[in-house]
Amino acid sequence: MNSNIHLKFLFILISLLILGLAQGDPEPLQDYCVADTTGQHSFFMNGQPCLDPELTSPNHFATSALSRPGNTSANQFGFSVILTSNQNLPGRRTQGLTLARVDIAPDGLVPPHSHPRASEVATCLKGDILVGFVDTSNKMYTQRLRPGESFVFPKGMIHFLYNVDQRSPAMAISGLTSENPGTQIASIATFTSQPPMPNKVLEKAFQIDGQEVTRIRNHLQG
């Protein structure tokens, strides 16, 4: 009996520890924290110190970083993502959010990827965008977005955005629920990791041969 009580107590402690670790960005302890990006400092809060509130201005809470389209020809997929950061929007510091401008060329694709630390809501502002994600039971959720329509990608789920228009570019604005959401493009992470993932693993996982592994690697590495 005492042994069972001990095991139950240990299970509760472990569960509480796991739940304590599985949290999003920490809650701010002040109204705001404008990132001080002016130079080297000896004291850091989550990577960067905060400006003295007396030195802040409205400009710290505004940005034009997302006002200009990105270069969708810079990669083989035909997309560009511009993110807000502590450099271009220092007032977002400790607020637990990131904004992104997503430009997609005609027939372009933001390939399947995930954000390990954030959920995302994407709003189409221009064009016709097919979006979707796959949950952990391998169920696919897809939707066509037209200007003004939005779609949520749950945290950590693999998702994509595809411009179905063959002639005109598309554009979306996304909000992510982390100051540092992280991004892993599934194909890039799998085939171009350093050091490389063993060929035999890729052959078995994707049911392909060694020549196909080499061809995919070479193509993704540009």
Residue 81 pairs with which residues in a beta bridge?
102
Domains and their CATH numbers in the chain: 53-181 (2.60.120.10), 192-220 (no CATH)
Question: What are the pLDDT tens digits along the chain (222 aa)?
Answer: 566 666 666 666 666 555 555 555 666 656 777 877 776 655 555 557 888 888 899 999 999 999 999 999 999 999 999 999 999 999 998 899 999 999 999 999 999 999 999 999 999 999 999 999 999 999 999 999 999 999 999 999 999 999 999 999 999 999 999 998 999 999 999 999 999 999 999 999 999 999 999 999 999 986
Burial of 108 (0-12, 13-18, 19+ CB in 10 A): buried
pLDDT tens readout for residues 148-168: 999 999 999 999 999 999 999
DSSP secondary structure string for all residues of 23-61? --SPPPSSS---B--SS--S--BTTB-B--GGG--GGGG
- Return the number of other C-beta atoms located less than 10 Å from residue 191's C-beta: 19
Distance, CA of 75 to CA of 52 (rounded, Å): 41
DSSP state for residue 91 in the 8-state scheme: G
Query: According to the model, what pLDDT value does residue 94 have?
Result: 85
Alpha-carbon distances, residue 203 vs 113, 192, 212 (angstroms): 21, 14, 8
Its pTM stands at 0.82
Nearest Cα neighbor of 172 from 211, 130, 222 is 130
Q: What is the pLDDT of residue 100?
A: 97
